[in-house]
Amino acid sequence: MRDMAAPGDVHSADYLIEARDVVYDFGETPALRGANLSIREGEILAVMGPSGSGKSTLLHCLAAILVPKHGGIYLSGQRVDTLDENERSALRRDTFGFVFQFGQLVPELTAEENVALPLLLAGLRRDDALRRAREWFERLGIDGLERRRSGELSGGQAQRVALARGLVAHPKVLFADEPTGSLDSLTGELVMELVVTAARQDGTTVVLVTHEPRVAAYAGREVIVRDGLVNSLVHDALAP
Amino acid sequence: MSVPFALLGLLEREPSHGYDLKRDYDSYFGRSKPLPFGQVYATLGRLSRDGKVSPGEIEPGDGPDRKRFAITEAGKQEFETWLREPVEPEPHLQTVLFEKVLLALMLGRSAEQYLDTQRAAHLRRMRELTELKRQDSLIDALLADHGLFHLEADLRWMDMTAARLPSLASMVAT
């Protein structure tokens, strides 16, 4: 990654990823109105908030999918929102992993090809990529499903395949946007259990957007996004 | 329901007679269980003995309700401490949470800030229960689930209440 940071743009390297005074709008509709958030390496953070509060927009800005209209995103102290589209794309591919609400697997590919996708995009040979992908099937309890296509998987199975795809390249940060939103309670808990176990074993930082308190309880800390701003829940004046 | 704190909160708003306190208490907090007169005066008696409220001069007229009670500095301090502290997160807290939210709004305090503090306390307890569930004991997991679902219900109620704070504030103000 090319260092695009201007002098003075370098922020605290104590944090792996930071949003500083981030503003984003969709035309006339403001989504983020000066959001600040600092996340330490290895932390599992839940981002909560009501529908339309801006929590998914915040995740997309942190993950270099959206470029803030104002403010900056910093990764290990280096500014990343000012990178060009190709550089941000490389950052997403090499440094970040993603899991979304509906898995979003490629229907034409088998489960193992889906999992191998980030490795193939990073230039790994097909055999190596598939071999590394298969290791995750056992780890996430979905061995035997490697050759199935997404239409032949249950919701919980598909979401575990999506999780394997999100983690296969050992990302620094896993961004998970309502990863259990389409699952029943028990399957949702299984997926969260796998996220936490894998993240703790590999030291992966996780940014988890959820509106479900029982999912947020798997995180080590939670913040709430309200009206485009980030609140830490515990107010200084009231802190125990 | 913590009757002494509710009465202290109502008295912080303005000094009142026992009858007015009972009327306000019943309309806000005692809809399904009105406060007996005896309990109002017994509670005021205890608060007065402990220096939390002071009975004013006996006013001229008929009937037993001729004292106007006012909150003391010690009473204000105790009420403030109670209002700021999150309730110990355990299931079925709705009535106490409601009491705190309503009194905070009535007295111009930040109900949203209180709700956030309570949310943080609930989520902290939910994290502990979730960690317990991850210990591989099915019995512990099932017991933890019961607590988690109830705490989640409280949190959903807090979300709904937070969304309705503006309407609630204008209702309390009238």
A213 falls within a domain: yes
Is A222 in contact with B148 (Cβ distance < 8 A)? no
User: What is the enclosing helix (H) or strand (E) of B73?
Assistant: helix B73-84
Please give the residue that has the higher pLDDT: either A185 or A80. Answer: A80
Q: Which domain holds residue A54?
A: 17-232
- Is there a domain that residue A170 lies in? yes
Q: Which CATH architecture has domain B1-84?
A: Orthogonal Bundle (1.10)
Identity of the residue numbered A18:
E
Closest CA to A156 of A196, A183, A177: A183
For A213, the closest of B85, B117, B123 (CB atoms) is B123
Residue A237 belongs to some domain of the structure:
no
> Which residues 212-231 of A have a C-beta within 8 angstroms of B?
212-214, 216-220, 222, 224, 231
Write out pLDDT tens, residues A72-116: 999 999 999 999 999 999 999 999 999 988 778 999 999 999 999
Q: How many helices (H) and strands (E) does chain A have?
A: 7, 10
Nearest chain A residue to B121, by CA: A234
**Does A176 score more than 60 pLDDT?**
yes
**CA-based end-to-end distance of chain B:** 24
Whether B148 and A218 lie within 8 Å, measured CB to CB:
no
How much is the average pLDDT of A39-45? 95
- Domain borders along chain B are 1-84, 86-174
Cβ–Cβ contacts within 10 Å for residue B85, how many?
15
Domain assignment present for A122:
yes
Cite the DSSP H helix spans in chain A: 55-62, 85-95, 111-121, 126-139, 155-167, 185-202, 213-216
In-domain check, residue A4: no
Is A76 a member of any domain?
Answer: yes
Instruction: Note the ipTM here.
Output: 0.78
CATH of the domain at A36: 3.40.50.300
Give the count of domains, chain A.
1
A3 located within any domain: no
Q: What is the DSSP track for B14-72?
A: S-EEHHHHHHHHHHHT-SSSPPPHHHHHHHHHHHHHTTSEEEEEEPSSSSS--EEEEE-
Cα Rg for chain A, rounded, in angstroms?
A: 18
Asked if the structure places residue A9 within a domain, the reply is no
The pLDDT tens digits of the residues spanning B81-116 come to 998 888 777 666 667 888 899 999 999 888 988 898
Whole-number pLDDT of residue A240: 36
